[in-house]
C-alpha cells in the first residue's frame, strides 16, 4: 500500500494512505500538519511549498500557477499538486517549518497570589469546595491564541512562576491566514458561486478548526510532560485563554458565523467557563477552562489582557495601545474613558501574504539595513535566512525610502533581492502599505473621535511579537507608529499572554479583566468617518 509521509512530524497521522484526486494540501490537513495556506488553497499566496523528496511520479504536472512562482527543483505548491497515481510512496517536507521564538512580557508584575485552586491540609480546594486529593503540584495553563501563532505558559499556581513555555504557528493556518478565511471555511462551500454549506457541514468544519487547536494544546501538555519527566496532565487545574473573538469561540466550538457578516459581532461578549470533557483537553477532570471576556466586534480578550498589563485602565494620563497582528487592535484612553478599534491589517506584518514573508521562526530575518546597495541583516536564532518577518519588512520599507529605492508613492522599479533566494516585489509592497495604512488610519480616527492630539498621549504601548522587535525609528518613518518622542513608546512584549497569566494566578485580576472589557467602547471606524476609504488610500503612501 502506497503512503504519503511527513518525516518532519512525528504524530499518529503523519503517515497516510495514498488517495487519488487529493492535493498534497489535503493530505497535510488530514495529517494535522502545520502548513501555511494563507489563501486557503486557491494558489494565490504561494506559501504552501513542499519538497517532494520521493514519489514525484505520482503527481500531476506543474500547473500554470506553480510556474508563476520561483519554485526550486522538487518543490511544489501543496494546493496545486494533485495525486494521480499510487505507484509508490510520497515523501514530503514542509519548507517553512521551524521553531518559533518565544516572547514573554516585558513587564515584571508583582502580584499577590490568589489562585482559584489551592492546596490545604492535603486536599485541593476551589474556593470553599474540596475538589481533589493534593497530588504534589497545582499547575495552570495561560494561553494566547493568535490567528497566526499560539503561545502557552505552564504555570505553578502555588508560586506564580512560569515553568515552561510552548509556542508554534496556529495549525488553522492551513485554512487561511486571517479570521475571515476561517469563518468562510465554516460557512462557504464555493465562494465563487456563493454556495453555502449545510448546517451539518458547517458544524463539521467548525469542529475541524476547534480540534486543531485543542490537539495543539494537548500536544503542548505532552511536550511539557516530556520535559518534566512525568505526566503532568493531572496537575493542571485551570486554563485561562485569551484571543480575538473568532479564535476564542472556535476553541469552545461556538458559532462564529455572526463575526463574518454585518455588524460583525459575537453573539455573546461575556466570559466563558467550561470543563475539560466539554472542550476535550487532557487535564484534571475537575479543572476549569476559562475564556476571557470580549470587548466587541473583532476585539477580544487578548486586548483586554493588554489593557490589564499596561495599567491604562487606572491612569489619569492618556495611553495608546497598538497591537499589530493579522487583526490589528488599537485602544486609546485612561481610567475615565477607553475606546477601541480593530483594523483589518491582514497578515503582511505576520509574514503572511508577502512572498518572502515569514513568522517569527528561526531563520527569519528580523533586522535589515542597506549600505551602498548591499544588504546587511540578522536572523532569529542566527540561522540561515529562510524569509523575512514583520520587523525586517518594516526596516526594508524605511531603507527603501532613505535610499530612494522606493518613491513616496510606494513604487519600485524592479524586484529587490535581499538574498539570492529572497526578494520583495511591487505586489509585496502594496500588501505591506495596505496593512500599514489600516493601522495608521485606526489610531488617527481614534484620536479624532476621543478627541485627543498626539501631544496629549503620555505613553504608547506596543504589544505582540511584531511590536517587540520593530525598530521604532523605522516604524515612525513609514507612518506605522505615531511620530512622538521615543521615550513615550514602550514595548510590552506578549502582553496578552502575561494578562492571561495574571488572571490565572489572581481571582481579583480575572474579575478586573471582566470589568475592563465592559468599560471599553468599541468604535467601527468605517461607520463614523464619512471619507473612510479616501483616508485609507491616502495613508498608504509616505
| Nearest partner of 432 among 375, 369, 350, 487, judged by Cα | 350
Helix (H, G, I), strand (E, B) or coil at 165: strand
pTM for the full model? 0.86
Position 217 scores a pLDDT of 97
DSSP state of 113: P
- Res. 104 pLDDT band, cuts 50 70 90: low
Position 51 scores a pLDDT of 85
Position 42 scores a pLDDT of 84
* Pairwise pLDDT comparison (514 vs 9), residue with the higher score: 514
- The whole-angstrom separation of Cα 389 and Cα 383 is 13
- Average of per-residue pLDDT across 253-268: 94
Which residue segments constitute the domains of the chain, with CATH numbers given?
3-94 (3.10.20.30), 117-301 (3.30.420.480)
pLDDT in tens, 217-248: 999 999 999 999 999 999 999 999 999 999 99
In this predicted structure, the answer to whether residue 150 has a pLDDT above a threshold of 80 is yes
Say what angle helices 301-310 and 507-519 make with each other, to 10 degrees. 110
Position 215 scores a pLDDT of 95
Strand order in the sheet with 489-493: 489-493, 457-463, 318-323, 328-333, 338-343, 520-522
Position 108 scores a pLDDT of 58
What percent of the residues of the chain are helix, what percent strand, and what percent coil, each to the nearest 5? 35, 25, 40
Helix (H, G, I), strand (E, B) or coil at 142: strand
Is 520 in contact with 295 (CB distance < 8 Å)?
yes
pLDDT in tens, 28-66: 888 887 787 777 788 888 888 888 988 999 999 999 999
In this predicted structure, the answer to whether residue 10 has a pLDDT above a threshold of 70 is no
Amino acid at each position: 500500500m502506497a503512503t504519503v509521509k511527513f518525516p518532519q512530524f512525528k504524530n499518529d497521522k503523519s503517515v497516510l494512505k495514498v488517495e487519488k484526486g487529493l492535493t498534497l494540501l489535503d493530505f497535510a490537513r488530514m495529517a494535522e500538519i502545520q502548513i501555511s495556506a494563507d489563501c486557503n488553497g486557491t494558489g494565490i499566496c504561494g506559501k504552501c511549498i513542499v519538497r517532494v523528496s520521493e514519489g514525484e511520479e505520482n503527481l500531476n504536472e506543474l500547473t500554470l500557477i506553480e510556474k508563476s512562482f520561483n519554485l526550486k527543483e522538487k518543490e511544489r505548491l501543496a494546493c496545486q499538486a494533485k495525486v494521480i497515481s499510487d505507484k509508490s510512496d510520497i515523501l514530503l517536507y514542509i519548507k517553512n517549518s521551524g521553531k518559533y521564538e518565544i516572547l514573554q512580557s516585558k513587564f515584571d508584575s508583582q502580584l499577590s497570589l490568589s489562585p482559584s485552586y489551592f492546596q490545604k491540609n492535603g486536599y485541593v480546594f476551589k474556593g470553599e469546595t474540596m475538589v481533589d486529593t493534593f497530588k504534589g503540584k497545582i499547575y495552570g495553563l495561560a494561553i494566547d491564541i493568535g490567528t497566526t501563532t499560539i503561545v502557552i505558559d505552564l504555570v505553578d499556581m502555588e508560586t506564580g512562576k512560569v515553568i515552561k513555555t510552548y509556542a508554534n504557528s496556529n495549525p488553522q493556518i492551513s485554512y487561511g491566514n486571517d479570521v475571515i478565511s476561517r469563518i468562510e471555511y465554516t460557512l462557504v462551500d464555493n465562494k465563487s458561486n456563493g454556495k453555502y454549506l449545510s448546517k451539518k457541514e458547517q458544524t463539521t468544519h467548525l469542529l475541524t478548526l476547534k480540534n486543531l487547536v485543542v490537539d495543539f494544546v494537548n500536544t503542548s501538555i505532552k511536550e511539557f510532560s516530556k520535559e518534566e519527566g512525568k505526566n503532568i496532565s493531572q496537575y493542571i487545574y485551570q486554563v485561562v485563554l485569551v484571543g480575538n473573538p473568532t479564535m476564542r469561540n472556535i476553541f469552545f466550538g461556538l458559532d462564529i458565523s455572526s463575526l463574518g457578516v454585518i455588524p460583525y459581532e459575537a453573539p455573546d461578549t461575556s466570559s466563558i467557563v467550561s470543563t475539560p470533557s466539554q472542550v476535550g483537553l487532557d487535564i484534571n477532570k475537575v479543572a476549569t477552562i476559562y475564556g476571557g471576556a470580549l470587548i466587541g466586534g473583532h476585539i477580544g480578550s487578548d486586548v483586554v489582557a493588554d489593557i490589564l498589563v499596561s495599567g491604562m485602565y487606572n491612569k489619569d494620563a492618556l495611553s495608546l495601545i497598538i497591537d499589530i497582528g493579522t487583526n490589528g487592535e488599537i485602544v486609546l484612553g485612561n481610567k475615565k474613558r477607553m475606546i477601541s478599534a480593530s483594523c483589518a491589517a491582514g497578515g503582511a506584518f505576520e509574514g503572511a501574504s508577502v512572498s518572502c514573508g515569514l513568522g517569527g521562526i528561526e531563520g527569519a530575518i528580523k533586522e535589515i539595513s542597506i549600505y551602498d546597495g548591499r544588504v546587511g541583516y540578522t536572523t532569529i536564532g542566527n540561522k540561515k535566512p529562510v524569509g523575512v518577518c514583520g520587523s525586517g519588512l518594516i526596516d526594508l520599507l524605511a531603507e527603501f525610502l532613505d535610499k530612494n529605492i522606493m518613491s513616496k508613492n510606494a513604487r519600485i522599479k524592479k524586484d529587490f533581492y535581499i538574498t539570492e533566494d529572497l526578494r520583495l516585489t511591487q505586489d509585496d509592497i502594496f500588501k505591506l502599505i495596505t496593512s500599514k495604512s489600516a493601522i495608521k488610519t485606526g489610531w488617527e480616527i481614534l484620536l479624532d473621535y476621543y478627541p485627543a492630539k498626539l501631544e496629549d498621549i503620555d505613553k504608547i504601548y506596543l504589544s505582540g511579537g511584531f511590536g517587540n522587535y520593530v525598530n521604532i525609528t523605522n516604524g515612525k518613518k513609514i507612518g506605522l507608529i505615531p511620530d512622538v518622542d521615543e521615550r513615550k513608546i514602550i514595548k510590552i512584549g506578549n502582553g496578552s499572554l502575561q494578562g492571561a497569566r495574571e488572571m490565572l494566578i489572581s481571582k481579583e485580576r480575572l474579575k478586573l479583566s471582566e470589568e475592563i472589557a465592559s468599560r471599553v467602547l468599541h468604535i467601527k471606524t468605517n461607520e463614523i468617518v464619512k471619507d473612510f476609504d479616501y483616508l485609507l488610500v491616502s495613508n498608504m503612501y509616505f
